Chain A
Amino acid sequence: MVAHHTLSPRRYMILGLVAVCAPLGDTCLSRGMTRLPPITLAHPGTLIAAVFTPWIALGIALLIGFFASYLTALSWADLTFVLPATAFGNVIVALLSRFWLQEAISMQRWAGIVLITLG
């Protein structure tokens, strides 16, 4: 178990990556998918083609980055230490969707995000 005050700068950076990569990756996925025309279940092949578009490819790369940093963090810290970093990702996703994707987020939705992060 790693005590908070013994974290090296490099390990803080890894935890930072854990918190940030998944939200950034999801935001890139969302940006890529909203730029495509509506996909219907009658043409599932369009979903596979979507994987090769730039924003989706960047999103996938970021999600792989998240997974790599997550496993790295778990190799030297307990899950209960790493999970808050991932939980905070909910807040980062909300901020990114509000300020980068220009989505409207009601007060109720913010309340929901806070409750989920606490949970």
Chain B
Amino acid sequence: MTIPVHPGPWTAAAMIAAIVLSSTAGEVLTAAAMKSIGDLDVIRARAGMKGAIRAVVTCPLFFAGVSFLALAFFALLFALNHLNLSLVAPASASLTLVTNAVAARIFLKENVDRRRWTAAVLVCVGVYFLAH
């Protein structure tokens, strides 16, 4: 797929969405991985530092999470090759906060308070202005 020198709004949105979605997937999977591994202090007391490291690196969820985080980084590089930093950096960072809140609620069953949802709405409005 060839990308024009000045990408249109939908292409730009797709590039930013790739960063945001892979960041959130990575962070949610990593959080889920650490939760499934359990208290690292307990593991370290039982099996030492090596045991703690082994517990982390042998967890498939952890590898999935790190892979998505790596994908997010390359998606960022790709976007920066085509778009201005003043659009990509705030848009991706702020939208990731919003999608993290949504994903944490749905997948990790975390409670997200009203102040955080209000902040998320503010952020979305801000991103709208950012893009124009």
Residues on A lying within 8 angstroms of B by beta carbon are 23, 26-27, 29-30, 33-34, 36, 38-42, 44, 47-48, 50-51, 56, 90, 93-94, 96-98, 101, 103, 105-106, 108-109, 111-116, 118-119
Contacts and interface: CB of A to CB of B under 8 A. Distances in A.
A101 to B, nearest CB: 6
B123 A115 contact: yes
B12 to A, nearest CB: 13
Interface in B89-132: 89-90, 93-94, 119-123, 125-132
Interface in B55-90: 74, 76-78, 80-82, 84-90
24 contacts: A30-B88, A33-B81, A39-B81, A40-B3, A41-B3, A42-B1, A48-B74, A50-B77, A50-B81, A93-B85, A93-B89, A97-B89, A101-B85, A108-B129, A108-B130, A109-B86, A112-B128, A115-B125, A115-B126, A116-B122, A116-B126, A116-B127, A119-B119, A119-B121
Contacts of A36: 81
A113 B77 contact: no
B130 A116 contact: yes
Contacts of A41: 1, 3
Nearest to A113: B90
Given A108-B132, A113-B126, A94 B86 contact: yes
B5 to A, nearest CB: 7
B2 A109 contact: no
Interface of B: 1-3, 5, 74, 76-78, 80-82, 84-90, 93-94, 119-123, 125-132
Contact of A109 (B76, B122, B125, B130): B130
List the 9 closest A-B pairs by CB distance, nearest first.
Answer: A115-B126, A112-B129, A112-B130, A119-B122, A116-B126, A30-B85, A33-B80, A119-B123, A97-B86
B77 A33 contact: yes
> Most B CB atoms within 10 A — which of A29, A56, A112?
A112
